[in-house]
């Protein structure tokens, strides 16, 4: 039944709330850059992961000029769209939910879980780690299902993810996390700013009134892209976000 | 009676299906997207260009004070973002059919329709394709618009490859997402 809802546009990011303070040496990305949340290609260490609508491929970059495919192509249900690596895990956003892979052995991603949408919440337990997922839907033929929302998912045991909270939004698409602050692009409703310091009691603490579909938060600098415009904001004071530039790129 | 009931409900069901747009009995028009095609001859031409106008922005990537902003299906705008209050448009890397890039050192990996390219970007004004892995992506990857819900004109392979999707008023579109 879930499939009839014709969900699209799942993107997500994950946040890990470690007990002790560990400096971010999880992935050595010093030589690579930062993707927006809609990325479907990523480099982790010396491996390149590509995602098409229905599969993942892994390439060894031992010779960085000539990527060599390793392992088998991993077939998934049609409709996978985004990819986000974190700390030995690879999160895949699809039209029906979220896949979580273990990439401790980079050439051989191992499926740990598939978290489908529209299930009720499981009992709440103490959290170590959280994934944030946006779900955007269209009007189905069989009724006007409305599932535009942000889901907050406990992935502390990545084999047993479960939803801990949901926010109904307008048209959520891209999202970006910096520490306690989560930015969610929400179509005409602007960019929603969440305080997620306690992911069990997340709340909207601000709104940036621009229509964007993806963001990258970079230590106080928020880069937001809309179809025809690129915006930048200073969010070092989270309650006083100021626009730095708006680059209307049309001629 | 039971038979009549069955007949009636199947009739109603048929009506319901018709109302869903699975079949149409008269023309209907709707706002949607239609493909803009590119010929096979230029579908693999990767090069540096001066700053290009925006049509439909795509994904974003940031590295070393440079901002890479995708132009859906056409390539990547390069901006010098050393001063975020005044980003400077440096140029454009043409990569037909492109959706994603990732950069490692001076190498950019990018999809170009079905292929995965390695592009040397050490000189941003003269980037060079230095490797091509063929058939990484399935041929149907461009058959419908990404991150879009609604009607669109179905892809016709006879017309070439889809470079991008433009908004249009469609008559009886058979494809929907």
Q: Is B101 in the A-facing interface, judged by CB distances under 8 Å? A: yes
Contact yes or no for A33 and B85 at CB 8 A:
no
Contacts of B86 in chain A (CB under 8 A): 245
A11 pLDDT band, cuts 50/70/90, is: low
Does residue B108 fall inside a structural domain?
Answer: yes
Token output for A65: 């000029």
Interface test with A, best of B104, B111, B142, B151 (most A CBs within 10 A): B104
Flag whether residue A69 sits within 8 Å of chain B, measured between CB atoms: yes
Any domain includes B16: no
Interchain CB distance below 8 Å, B59 and A244 = no
Residue B107 falls inside a structural domain: yes
Between these two residues, B22 and B93, which has the higher pLDDT value?
Answer: B93
Residues 103-132 on A with a CB inside 8 Å of B are none
Note whether residue B51 is domain-resident.
yes
Does residue B62 register a pLDDT over 80? Answer: yes
Closest residue in A to B130 (Cα) is A65
Domain count, chain B: 1
Predicted pLDDT at B169 = 93
**Over the stretch A103-148, which tens digit does the pLDDT of each residue have?**
999 999 999 998 875 432 221 123 358 988 887 765 443 334 567 8
Which of A33, A38, A245 shows the shortest C-beta gap to B84? A245
Q: Which residue would you say has higher pLDDT here, B79 or B1?
A: B79
pLDDT tens digits for range A181-192: 999 999 999 999
Whether residue B60 and residue A31 make contact (CB cut-off 8 A), yes or no, is no
Give the pLDDT confidence score for residue B145 in this predicted structure. 82
Candidates B163, B91, B96, B93; CA nearest to B128 is B93
Q: Which of A87, A91, A89 is nearest to A99 (CA)?
A: A91
| pLDDT at residue A78 in the model | 73
pLDDT at B95 over 60: yes
Order of strands across the sheet that contains A7-16: A7-16, A129-137, A149-154, A162-168
- Indicate whether B2 belongs to any domain: no
Of the two residues B28 and A15, the one the predictor is more confident about is B28
CA-atom Rg of chain B in angstroms:
22
Determine contact: A246 vs chain B, CB below 8 A.
no
Q: Do A250 and B109 make contact, defined as CB atoms within 8 angstroms?
A: no
Specify the higher pLDDT residue, A117 or B115: B115
- Asked if B62 lies within 8 A of A67 by C-beta distance, the reply is no
pLDDT the model gives residue A13? 58
Q: Which residues contact residue A197 at a Cβ distance below 8 angstroms, ignoring those fewer than 6 apart?
A: A180
The residue-averaged pLDDT of B52-80 equals 94
ipTM above 0.95, yes or no: no
Does B111 reach chain A within 8 Å, measured CB to CB?
yes
A55-101 pLDDT tens trace? 999 999 999 999 999 999 999 877 778 888 888 889 888 776 788 99
Position A250 confidence tier, pLDDT thresholds 50, 70, 90: low
Element at A77 (helix H, strand E): none
Q: Dihedral sign, CA of B51, B53, B54, B55?
A: negative
Rounded to whole angstroms, the Cα distance separating B173 from B171 reads: 6
What pLDDT score was predicted for residue B25?
65
What whole-number percentage of chain B has pLDDT above 90? 57
pLDDT tier, A16 (very low <50, low <70, confident <90, very high otherwise):
very low
pLDDT top residue among A20 and B143:
B143
Distance from CA of A3 to the nearest CA of B (A): 13
Mean pLDDT computed over every residue of chain A: 80
Mutation site, A33, A63, A173, A191, interface B, largest B CB count within 10 A: A33
Range of the domain at B52: 31-176
Q: Higher pLDDT residue, B121 or A248?
A: B121
How far is residue A246's CA from residue A243's CA, in Å, rounded to a whole number? Answer: 8
pLDDT score for A145 = 55
| Chain A residues whose beta carbon lies within 8 Å of the beta carbon of residue B149 | 6, 8-9, 136-138
Distance (Å) from the alpha carbon of B42 to chain A's nearest alpha carbon: 23
Structure tokens at A29: 């990305």
- Give the model's confidence band at B146: pLDDT under 50 very low, under 70 low, under 90 confident, else very high: confident
pLDDT at A139: 41
Nearest-neighbour CA in chain B from A125: distance (Å): 34
> Are residues A50 and B67, on separate chains, in Cβ contact within 8 Å?
no
pLDDT tens string A143-176: 345 678 888 999 989 999 998 999 999 888 889 9
Instruction: Please tell me if residue B24 touches chain A, with a CB cutoff of 8 Å.
Output: no
**Measured over all CA atoms, what is the biggest interatomic distance in chain A, rounded to whole angstroms?**
53
Q: Is B107 exposed, middle or buried (0-12, 13-18, 19+ CB in 10 A)?
A: buried
Burial readout A163-202 (b: 16 or more C-beta within 10 A, e: otherwise): bbbbbebebbbbbbbbebbbbbbbbebbbbbbbbeebeeb
Cβ-nearest to A40 among B100, B103, B104: B100
On whether residue B165 sits in a domain, the answer given is: yes
Nearest residue, CB atoms, A38 vs list B59, B111, B116: B59
The reply to whether B166 falls in a domain is yes
| B71 occurs within a structural domain | yes
Residue A104 exposed, middle or buried by CB count within 10 Å (0-12, 13-18, 19+): exposed
Cα–Cα distance for residue pair A188/A213, rounded to 1 Å: 10
Mean confidence (pLDDT) of chain B? 86
């Amino acid at each position: 039944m879930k499939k009839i809802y014709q969900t699209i546009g799942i993107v997500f990011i994950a946040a890990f709330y470690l007990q002790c303070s560990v400096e971010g040496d999880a992935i050595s990305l010093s030589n690579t850059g930062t993707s927006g949340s809609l990325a479907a290609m990523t480099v982790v260490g010396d491996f390149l992961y590509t995602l098409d609508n229905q599969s993942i491929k892994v390439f060894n970059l031992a010779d960085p000029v000539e990527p060599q495919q390793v392992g088998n192509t991993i077939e998934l249900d049609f409709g996978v769209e985004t990819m986000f690596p974190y700390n030995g895990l690879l999160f895949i956003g699809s039209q029906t939910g979220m896949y979580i892979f273990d990439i401790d052995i980079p050439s051989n991603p191992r499926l740990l879980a598939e978290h489908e949408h529209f299930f009720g919440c499981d009992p709440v337990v103490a959290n170590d780690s959280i994934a944030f997922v946006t779900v955007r839907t269209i009007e189905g033929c069989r009724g006007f299902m409305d599932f535009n929302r942000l889901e907050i998912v406990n992935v502390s045991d990545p084999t047993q993810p479960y939803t801990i909270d949901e926010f109904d939004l307008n048209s959520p698409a891209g999202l970006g996390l910096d520490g306690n602050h989560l930015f969610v692009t929400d179509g005409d409703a602007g960019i929603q700013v969440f305080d997620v310091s306690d992911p069990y009691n997340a709340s909207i603490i601000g709104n940036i009134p621009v229509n964007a579909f993806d963001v990258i938060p970079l230590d106080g600098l928020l880069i937001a892209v809309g179809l025809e415009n690129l915006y930048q904001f200073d969010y070092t004071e989270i309650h006083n976000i100021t626009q730095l530039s708006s680059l209307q790129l049309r001629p | 009676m039971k038979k009549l009931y069955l007949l009636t409900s199947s009739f109603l069901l048929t009506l319901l299906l018709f109302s869903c747009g699975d079949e149409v009995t008269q023309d209907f028009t709707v706002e949607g997207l239609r493909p803009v095609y590119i010929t096979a001859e230029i579908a693999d031409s990767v090069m540096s260009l001066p700053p290009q106008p925006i049509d439909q922005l795509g994904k974003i990537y940031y590295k070393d004070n440079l901002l890479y902003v995708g132009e859906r299906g056409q390539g990547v705008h390069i901006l010098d973002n050393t001063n975020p209050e005044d980003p400077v448009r440096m140029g454009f890397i043409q990569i037909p059919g492109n959706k994603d890039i990732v950069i490692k050192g001076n190498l950019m990996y990018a999809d170009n329709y079905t292929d995965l390219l390695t592009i040397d970007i050490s000189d941003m004004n003269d980037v060079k394709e230095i490797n091509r892995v063929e058939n990484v992506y399935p041929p149907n990857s461009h058959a419908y618009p990404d991150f879009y819900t609604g009607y669109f004109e179905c892809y016709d392979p006879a017309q070439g490859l889809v470079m991008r999707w433009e908004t249009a008023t469609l008559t009886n579109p058979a494809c929907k997402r």
